[in-house]
Amino acid sequence: MMKIRSLFAVLILLSAGNGVAHATTYALPENSNDSVITQFHDDVPLTRAEQDETLLDVARRFLLGQAEIVRLNPDVDRWHIKKDEIVRLPNKRILPDTPHEGITLNIAEYRMYYYPPVQKGVAPQVMSYAHGVGRQDWKTPMGKTSIVQKVKDPAWHPPESIRREHAANGDPLPAVVPPGPHNPLGAYKMHLAVPGGYLIHGTDIDKIYGIGMQITHGCVRMYPEDIEALYNSVPVGTPVYIVKQPIKVGWLDNTLYIEAHPDLEGEETTLAQKVDTALKLIQKAAMTASAPAQNPPEFDRAALNKALTALDGNPVALYQRLPQPVSLSATGHAPIIR
């Protein structure tokens, strides 16, 4: 009964807001060795459809990626949700294994993590945004780079390769697409220090439901309000880490979690390969200073197999250790929940 009441309370909370949600801001864990962030107290936050709509409309309202919300709701008709139908939303996320500075793009989960500079008296935070990534034949490059230029209301000069592709499909492009609602770059773009002209940019109204999918020509595409917030927050020179981590492992409050996502288009790993990757990450997590190595730790094998089979991006608990000493955040106090 308590569980039902708890879920109902979250359901009402998430149905009360009007319009589009703001970007999700998470407080970083109190323990500096923990890497799982949580938005809601309930493990399974839910929302009601406000009207007859699609799952993509719900994703748009909560600034979620299309693939993300579809994987969390495998039994829901993507194209037809009836008014008051229940939709599951994401909650916990495991931070990618990168420095907690600047921007991290985890291509495997179509999601970005921005770590604002720590301010005196404010607990460290991370902001998370959905984004689209490059298709199989236009892969987004991996590695560390930085933002080298920012442009508001950009015109788009389609590269010759893209113009040839569109012409071959009977959809010729002009040499220049001026700023406006149908400009594929949206209202903001940020250049990365990567050969080939890779960008982080907004989107046009025609492709807004493609956020959170593998659809671009290599660039990183974001919702209009998300790219605006990011553009106004990050200066030129901000480091950007582009990684591909479909399987992530991390601690929260002495519980070890695993988060698994499907392979990108054009890539395929077997279950055995996924298990091997997961075991290495579990062993690495068990060797942290606050969790002395066990060879290997006694974790829930059934939960591991379920996570690696479902591949829904929902963190699953694998193992609980004895309480460890807490390492406070850089500010010396617990995070503030926003």
Q: Which two three-digit tokens encode residue 152? A: 């508001």
Antiparallel, parallel or unpaired: β 102-106 and 239-243:
parallel
181 burial via Cβ count (<10 Å: 0-12, 13-18, 19+) = exposed
Strand (E) or helix (H) holding 280:
helix 271-286
DSSP-assigned states of every residue in 282-332: HHHHHTSTTS---SS----HHHHHHHHHH--S--EEEEEPPP-PPPP-TTS
Strand (E) or helix (H) holding 229:
helix 224-231
Whole-number CA gyration radius for the chain: 21
DSSP symbol at 154: -
**Cis bond upstream, residue 296 (ω within 30):** yes
Q: Are 51 and 117 in contact (CB under 8 A)?
A: no
CA nearest 208: which of 15, 64, 73? 64
Q: Which two three-digit tokens encode residue 123? A: 């607990």
Catalytic residue positions, numbered = 201, 219
